[in-house]
Chains A and B, each alone.
Chain A
Amino acid sequence: MQITSPQFKANARHALDDAPLQRALGHVRSGFITKRATAAAALPEFEQLRDNARDIKDHVLAHLDLYLEAYAEKVEAAGGTVHWAETAEDARRIILDICRKRGARTVTKGKSMITEEIGLNAFLDEHSVAPVETDLGEYIIQLRGEHPSHIIAPAVHVNKDQVEADFRRVHTHLDPNRNLEEPTTLLGEARAVLRDKYFQADIGITGANFLVAETGSSIIVTNEGNGDLTQILPKTHVVVASIEKIVPTLEDVSQILRVLARSATGQDMSVYTTVSTGPKRAGDPDGPEEYHVVLLDNGRSAMLGTEFQDMLRCIRCGACMNHCPVYHAVGGHAYGWVYPGPMGAVLTPSLIGVDQSGHLPNASTFCGRCESVCPMRIPLPKMMRHWREREFSRNLNPATARYGLALWAFFAKRPALYQGLTRLAMGALGLIGRGRGRFSFLPLAGGWTRHRDLPAPQGGTFQAQWAKARGAKAKDMRSKSASGRASA
């Protein structure tokens, strides 16, 4: 897909002016946060399970090569085939190759962010294989020619009336006067249209939430059941998964499952958690005849051993974006590639380069909500800070930002000068602004005053006030201990 991350600022401005988008984003702000909080509060062990989930993935990442080998052996023992793909292009080629061998003309797809990452749909289309997205949200955005704006709610930027218009535009075989007012009728229509597709498809492609080394199984976690129909009805099931999806055992999966759905949608458990191992067995009346797993690296192995390794713990629950004030304001498309929100701000520079996506780690207030809700305890703000440092050290920031930072650093390294100057500046600003108590224009602060007034400072600098308060506290403590001694 076209990368627009370098235009993040323009994207964001556009998003803020987009009234339907802003209406749709209201659903993110209101829904997800309460649901997660309620589900987490209802399980007393939740915080400890987050620790366990983090530890499991850390253990996996320290032994990733060995677990991958063990996993691949098990897949093959169960009659499946493992394909290793170093890059997105390799993965696309491998999948097209499978399609050609099976003479596939239609493939159905379960929801998969990895296939978004490798741009699979456009590639298959170019090569005369028609991909059909079956997750309701993915189906809607495929009709609209868009990409997901959220990793678990891909069509969260779309309103009901827009879905209705799209269905009328595409489902021309249906009565044009039908009533599509209710969301249930929209759902019913999508269900009926997609039912036929499952049966027509030659190949079903899904992602994987987990790959289990102990058994060689792939696991998908869904609510709709589309992923299951995608993988049991066609003759071939292709799983596309990145290498860090490995988990040692079914017990380990169970630990992480307990934090996944709660963090994502506030469910205790998603409706369908499906463990698939190899092709169908002799005597099985249903299931695929062939089972392929495409293991994708695409830059991940290079993250091992770096300050970004922790990002490979991510289980794609979406909690970080659900709680992000920046995501709430601009939505997912503004981020300009596949992964939005805080996890995208950290992962995108690793996968497409910080020169392309340097704005993303800067698009954060560092409020820390993402880290506080991340089920895998990924230190997202810290890693965004690492990207900012790399961006700075590689001279990728605009000149004004660099000079500004250098100037600030000069003073910050000289505390006496810094304190003297800030005291002087505060005093002067306080004096000039004492009439209105605020500034509607200030040289060098246009970025602030264009949108709101800057309050005029009152009293001393923060450091002066801090020193004063500490002095008073110390004095208070001294007098308290003195009176304590006196009474003893």
Chain B
Amino acid sequence: MSDAKASILARMRSAMGRKGDETVRRAAVADRLQRAPRGLIPARGQLAPTARVALFCEMAEKVQASIARVASPAEVPQAVTDYLKSKNLPARVRFGEDARLAEMPWAAQANLEIDRGRAENADLATVSHAFGGIAETGTLMLTSGPDNPTTLNFLPEHHIVVVSAADIAGDYESLWERIRGRFGKGTMPRTVNMITGPSRSADIEQTLLLGAHGPRALHIVVVGEA
């Protein structure tokens, strides 16, 4: 199909009246890809750390996520247990190999069963650790891999996401910069999920219903202060 590629590109170039020297256009493209200039960043999320985390929580709750705030990672297992109890769910969760989750004192939750690895269809509740959060719209960002398998984000009825307050940025652009820092410029993990509230559909008579194909509930545990 390389013929198709050549003829599509040739048709474009002739439609655009391009022939001969393309140095200027090539430089413009290379420059934009290299610099990745930021456009207009809305003022909404550009706040001091404490207010930024508060805005994140407010925006996430606006889109039907629930929020628990804890002072330290050590308090996360208790927060997870509390959530499961409040929803009358069995004391059982699944999570991946995330080192931050692994270091938390899960053993202290006497009755809590823990499964590891990718999600299964029958899972009711899973726990992921977010890469970060975006205050502007109450959005979580998660990256795929053995630490936090992507299926954990979509298969369960209840998705519990742990995010460090320090990782909550004002805008998407700040997190893209951090993604580049982690994975290298122009390189991405297989999947980056930006999640804003639990799954929903309005396909039947434009009535908004939660829990379409993904989780019916999204519970966010915000750890520490920014």
Given known A63-B28, A224-B200, contact A85–B4 (CB-CB < 8 A):
yes
**A186 CB to nearest chain B CB (Å):** 6
**Interface 1/0 per residue, B3-39 and A, CB below 8 Å:** 0110111011101111000100110110011001111
Q: Are B154 and A228 in contact (CB under 8 A)?
A: yes
Q: Are B29 and A232 in contact (CB under 8 A)?
A: no
Provide the residues of chain B in CB contact with A229, threshold 8 Å.
154-155, 213-214
Most B Cβ at <10 Å: residue of A66, A70, A229 = A66
Provide the residues of chain A in CB contact with B137, threshold 8 Å.
268-269
Interface pick from A247-255, A327-335, A380-388, A439-447:
A247-255
The count of A-to-B residue pairs whose CB atoms sit within 8 angstroms is 272
Interface residues of B in 146-203 (CB under 8 A from A): 146, 149-151, 153-155, 171-173, 176, 179, 186-203
Q: Are B145 and A251 in contact (CB under 8 A)?
A: no
Q: Are A272 and B193 in contact (CB under 8 A)?
A: yes
Most A Cβ at <10 Å: residue of B2, B22, B118, B194 = B194
Check if B139 is an interface residue, CB within 8 A of chain A.
Answer: yes
Check if B44 is an interface residue, CB within 8 A of chain A.
Answer: yes
Provide the residues of chain A in CB contact with B190, threshold 8 Å.
276-281, 284, 287
Q: Return the contact of B199 from the options A28, A224, A301 (Cβ within 8 A).
A: A224
Q: Are B193 and A224 in contact (CB under 8 A)?
A: no
Check if B127 is an interface residue, CB within 8 A of chain A.
Answer: no
Check if B78 is an interface residue, CB within 8 A of chain A.
Answer: no
Q: Are A248 and B212 in contact (CB under 8 A)?
A: no
Q: Return the contact of A183 from the options B22, B150, B205 (Cβ within 8 A).
A: B205
Number of B interface residues in the complex (CB < 8 A):
81
Check if B224 is an interface residue, CB within 8 A of chain A.
Answer: no
Interface residues of A in 204-231 (CB under 8 A from B): 213-217, 223-226, 228-229
Provide the residues of chain A in CB contact with B9, threshold 8 Å.
65, 68-69
Provide the residues of chain A in CB contact with B197, threshold 8 Å.
271
User: Which bracket fits the contact residues of A?
Assistant: 35 or more
Provide the residues of chain B in CB contact with A274, threshold 8 Å.
191-194
Provide the residues of chain A in CB contact with B150, threshold 8 Å.
228, 232, 286-287
Check if B144 is an interface residue, CB within 8 A of chain A.
Answer: yes
Interface pick from A118-126, A155-163, A355-363, A425-433:
A155-163
Q: Are A285 and B188 in contact (CB under 8 A)?
A: no
Given known A160-B204, A277-B189, A301-B8, contact A249–B118 (CB-CB < 8 A):
no
**A292 CB to nearest chain B CB (Å):** 11
Q: Are A223 and B212 in contact (CB under 8 A)?
A: yes
Provide the residues of chain B in CB contact with A478, threshold 8 Å.
none
Given known A74-B186, A229-B213, contact A52–B40 (CB-CB < 8 A):
yes
**A46 CB to nearest chain B CB (Å):** 9
Provide the residues of chain A in CB contact with B199, threshold 8 Å.
223-225, 271-272
Residue pairs across A and B with Cβ atoms less than 8 A apart, 20 shown, are A49-B40, A68-B8, A78-B187, A84-B1, A84-B2, A86-B7, A232-B150, A248-B29, A249-B37, A250-B36, A251-B173, A252-B36, A254-B39, A254-B173, A267-B63, A271-B214, A273-B193, A277-B190, A280-B190, A284-B190
* Further pairs besides A269-B139, A278-B190: 17, Cβ < 8 Å: A49-B42, A66-B25, A69-B9, A70-B29, A90-B1, A153-B206, A154-B203, A224-B200, A228-B153, A248-B36, A251-B36, A251-B37, A251-B176, A258-B42, A265-B202, A287-B150, A287-B190
The residues of A with any CB-CB pair to B shorter than 8 Å are 24, 27-28, 31-32, 43-45, 48-49, 52, 56, 59, 62-70, 72, 74, 78, 83-86, 90, 94, 134-137, 140, 153-156, 159-160, 163, 183-184, 186-188, 191, 194-195, 199, 213-217, 223-226, 228-229, 232-233, 243, 248-252, 254-255, 257-258, 265, 267-281, 283-287, 295, 297, 301-306
